[in-house]
Chain A
Amino acid sequence: MKPFSFTRSSIDPRALREVLVDPGCGGYAAFEGWVRNHNEGQTVTRLEYEAFETLAEREGATIVAEAIAKFGVEHAACVHRIGDLALGELAVWVGVSARHRAEAFAACRYIIDEVKHRVPIWKKEHYSSGDSGWVNCERCAAHAHEGHTPLRMDYSRQMALPQVGAAGQSRLAAARVLVIGAGGLGVPVLTSLAGAGVGVIGIVDGDRLEASNLHRQTLYALADVGESKAELAAQRLRELNPEIEVRVHACQATRASLPELIADYDLLVECTDNFATKFAVNDAAVRAGKPAVFASIYQYEGQLQVYDPRSDSACLRCLWPEGTRDGLVGNCATAGVLGPVPGTLGQLQALEVLKLILGLPGGLAGEVLLFDLLATRLVRLRAPRNPACRSGPCARLGPDQTTAEGASSSDDVDLDCDDLASACRSGYTLIDVREPEEIATAPPPVDCLQMPLNALLEDSSVLDAGRPYLLICARGARSRALALELRGRELTRVYSLRGGLAKLADRVVS
């Protein structure tokens, strides 16, 4: 028996099977392809097969030989009908015998798949409408793989949860979530929400991708460096789930832009890396009465907080009433981070978002979670709402800087200066706010008062409200934050050296 042959008469599988019987074989697998009564929505009445026989036989024999070699089976054969076939007739037969069943099944599957792809056989279908059409079997196979039946998202694995079900899936589809920041926290939030089928996802991020983002922001690719992160993330999410709507807001979230940005969304997820934006998002969420999920990380640790206006939960300002400025905590050295730390916190944010949308129990509103992922330590703290806010809106909202009044006193806090000695001569008192050990390793170019940031924060009574001060630090972040803080304490003539000593040194060199 030839390994691959054509026949114009009907195939008898029982006779063919006999050829493959072997006392050394423990298993036999066969496949039979039959003429079906429908294809792509049309009723099929009969079939014609035509083949380029010499070429087809050679290619078919090659496939059978490949299967024997690849799976180590003892015997294999394939017979294909050509000519006219009636409904239900056997069109193709594959038989394999082997020592064990696994390789028999695998080889059988391989042969039929490869024959459909590679052997030049054409099929003419005759339909009940009187029409007919040629169908190349290879094209048939490609057709099926490329999803002629359009692919649909399948949420069955989450809908199987009794708390989700079809009703929960509809709630997800109806939800509109704004994710602010598409970085270390934002990436896991975005992918989880898109996968879950959240109907509308907005992405706010004004930054472009940098190579240093990729170790933790694995939605992106190295070739994407320099592109808009919001655009890139949107593109990837649309590939992941084409059935949801993804909106791009390639801009920074600021006090001015947030009220309009959040207007079309029901829920906010704060995923940025700075206090200014975190408090701005908090204030916008509280003003608009929308829930918000916050997370922050520091090296191997993270904090998670959920604000939900529907429950009596604390907002960021209940915990941090004074607000907290970037530069006032931490140190100048950029804190490092391992990818799974924001990854974990971001996934927890996504989980809290799903809990809020689905109304699941166990939401974190009213609590703050502290994680130490190096020690795998979790502390869950109850965070009561500020009592002064209980009867109405938050009593500690920051200034609404969409109004001119709110933007006032911080505009001129940064002072450009090439020459500290001349600043000194024009009446400024210079204060180096760095730590003593920093000053020891890199002393300032002129004599300055030395008052570490935290000492001044604790007690600023040594400063005189009427006098001008120029605060100096390494890069201008801490001095700026401190100057802003001190201005809030009526010290209206406190300035910060823009860019710090680093910028000054650059200018001297150039």
Chain B
Amino acid sequence: MKQLTVQYFALFREQAGSSQESITTAAATPADLYQELKSRHGFKLAPAQLKVAINAEFAPWDASLEDGDSIVFIPPVAGG
């Protein structure tokens, strides 16, 4: 199990009901983690529609997660 910090913006913040949480997970990749959080918070977007960053850098969905990583899920927004 690893301890991760997850930050949410825009739609995710609304759906998760908070802008940040600490979670303990067995997820090996951001893809696994997203599936886990998707069922927990009812996220509606498919992974192909969003981006993930690990420790302040955009990362592929199959990157490996390490204990202590900081994760941000980023939905695209268009308002102006």
Contact = CB atoms under 8 A, between A and B. Distances in A.
A252 B13 CA distance: 33
Interface residues of A, number: 46
A375 to B, nearest CB: 6
Given A381-B57, A381-B58, A382-B58, A329 B49 contact: yes
B44 interface: yes
B65 interface: no
B17 interface: no
A377 B48 contact: no
Contacts of B44: 435, 452, 454
Contact of A328 (B19, B49, B58): B49
B79 A381 contact: no
Contacts of A303: 74, 77
Interface string A314-329: 0000011010101011
A372 interface: yes
B79 A370 contact: no
Contacts of A330: 11, 77-78
A457 B10 contact: no
Main secondary structure of the interface of B (DSSP, over half): mixed
Interface of A: 181, 183-186, 271-275, 278, 295-299, 301-303, 319-320, 322, 324, 326, 328-330, 335, 337, 342, 368, 370, 372, 375, 377, 379-384, 435, 452, 454, 457-458
Given A278-B78, A454-B45, A454-B46, A379 B72 contact: yes
Contacts, number: 105
Given A181-B80, A273-B80, A296-B79, A322 B48 contact: yes
Interface of B: 7, 9-11, 13, 19, 44-46, 48-49, 51, 53, 56-58, 72, 74-80
B80 A275 contact: no
A299 B10 contact: yes
Contact of A298 (B10, B19, B72): B10
B56 A375 contact: no
B72 A381 contact: yes
18 contacts: A271-B80, A296-B79, A303-B74, A319-B58, A322-B49, A326-B78, A329-B11, A329-B75, A329-B77, A337-B79, A372-B13, A372-B19, A375-B19, A381-B57, A381-B58, A382-B56, A454-B46, A457-B46
Given A370-B9, A377-B19, A379-B72, A457 B78 contact: no
B56 A381 contact: yes
Contacts of A297: 77, 79-80
A236 to B, nearest CB: 19
A275 B79 CA distance: 9
Given A272-B80, A296-B79, A372-B9, A319 B46 contact: no
B70 to A, nearest CB: 9
A85 to B, nearest CB: 64
B74 to A, nearest CB: 7
Contacts of A184: 79-80
Contacts of A335: 79
Nearest to B54: A381
Nearest to B72: A379
Contacts of A326: 78
A272 B79 CA distance: 7
A458 B35 CA distance: 12
Contacts of B80: 181, 183-186, 271-274, 295-297, 342
A271 B44 CA distance: 27
Nearest to B74: A370
A324 B49 contact: yes
Give the residue among B13, B49, B77 with the most A Cβ atoms within 10 A.
Answer: B77
Contacts of A380: 56
